[in-house]
Amino acid sequence: MTSLIAKKVGVKPGQVILGKFANNETNVQLQEQVRCQDVYIIQTGAVSSNDAIMELLLLINSCKLASAESITVITPYFPYSKGDQKSSLRSPITAKLVANMLKRAGANHLMMLDPHSPQLEGFFDHPVDCLKVEPLFCKWIKQNIPNWRDCIVVSPDEGGAKRSVMIANSLGLEFAMIHNRHKKSLKKQKTIEEPMMNRDIDDLSDDIVQINIHQPPEELQMTHKMVDKYLKISGDVSGLNCIVVDDMIDSGSTIRLALEVLRTQGSGQVYVFATHGIFSGPCAQILLESPNLEKLVVTNSLPQAKNEESLGTKLEVVDISGMVSEFIRRSHYNESVSVLSQYYMEKDGQKSGSRKTSREESPDEADQLNINAPTQRLRKGFRLESVCWD
């Protein structure tokens, strides 16, 4: 993706040699002259995260020692973003530790895409820009989902409510939320199996969530009674196609349980949107078992070649290179980047904020009235509806 971003920005990607020493330590050699230059380093996590972090730290320090004017780190997926709080009494806050290491290495600015939680931004002592992909998802929904106005946006848990509401408000759709308590319940309570002789065959067939893989995650080893008990939904989804929105798909358990809940509630086909498609372990097989899954839509914040092979036509990948390249251009020229995370709904062939030209108004007067519209302040060449820099 780096070469594609560099092409849209209009520069050549810098040359870097990455390797390993004989003892498996990371080796980085910068092949470009960066003295008094603004450097933008693109590195994502979730794929060999430990190696990615060391390569990033060494590359930042190399640019700093080579007298770079400024160093901006672009991490579409921030590594260890799930470690944003202590999971137990004696556990680290890993995301904060990584943030401190980036600062000590010499980073001046950081951009991440749709962070796992809002507090990640507060872990840094230097400027941080957190871009949202909702404009890209809204555009995909309008272009690819038939009768999208009849859909309902669903959050798979309480943590994803804010991003789901943002898409629902942008498209003018209804909103529902699944109250997911299964993770906490698994820590306190285990399933008590009843003797086989006291159970009917029909009860067995209706009581077990069928996952046709050898060892499903512990979160998915639940009966239908447990699903009904620990997963509740606020909102009516009966007979409606659903748009499920989350920040990432890792093990797939959250999305799989959400699909199961929506199926039991009588919903139609489900479109799942996630910024970061990690698909760890048997995640692809777990999701493909869901009969009501229509599409999985993710961005290329992580390489998706292998996932496209395993998921086939179920997976759609949205390109973020236009958004990242526009961020680089705006950051370099000290322009606002907030417009990249805003979506302007089109109404009657016009974008919201604009005004139709009436018969009484001359074209000059209409242009003067529209001078304060958001689209009038954009640089020439930037298409807001596609979030792409040409």
pLDDT mean by block of 10 residues, the chain; 390 residues: 87 90 91 92 86 93 93 92 83 90 92 85 87 90 92 89 90 90 50 41 43 56 61 87 92 88 91 92 88 93 90 92 90 86 55 41 43 40 42
Are residues 242 and 187 part of one domain? yes
Are residues 211 and 121 part of one domain? no
- pLDDT for 168: 92
Are residues 233 and 174 part of one domain? yes
- pLDDT for 218: 56
CATH of the domain at 268: 3.40.50.2020
Helix (H, G, I), strand (E, B) or coil at 25: coil
Among 166, 174, 129, which residue's Cα sits nearest to residue 150?
A: 174
Are residues 240 and 140 part of one domain? yes
User: What contacts 384, CB < 8 A, 6 or more positions away?
Assistant: 339, 344, 351, 374, 375, 378
Token pair 């606020």 is found at: 234
- pLDDT for 257: 87
Containing domain of residue 96, as a range? Answer: 2-131
Is 266 inside any structural domain? yes
Is 353 inside any structural domain? no
Is 370 inside any structural domain? no
Helix (H, G, I), strand (E, B) or coil at 45: coil
* Angstrom distance (rounded) from CA 209 to CA 229: 14
Are residues 145 and 77 part of one domain? no
Are residues 166 and 260 part of one domain? yes
Are residues 182 and 156 part of one domain? yes
* Angstrom distance (rounded) from CA 28 to CA 146: 49
Are residues 311 and 204 part of one domain? yes
Q: Report pTM.
A: 0.78
Helix (H, G, I), strand (E, B) or coil at 233: strand
First to last CA, the chain: 16
Query: What's 215's DSSP letter?
Result: S
- pLDDT for 102: 92
- pLDDT for 211: 55
300, 320 contact by CB (below 8 A): yes
Are residues 178 and 107 part of one domain? no
- pLDDT for 340: 82
- pLDDT for 272: 95
Last residue of a domain, one of 80, 103, 131: 131
Are residues 181 and 122 part of one domain? no
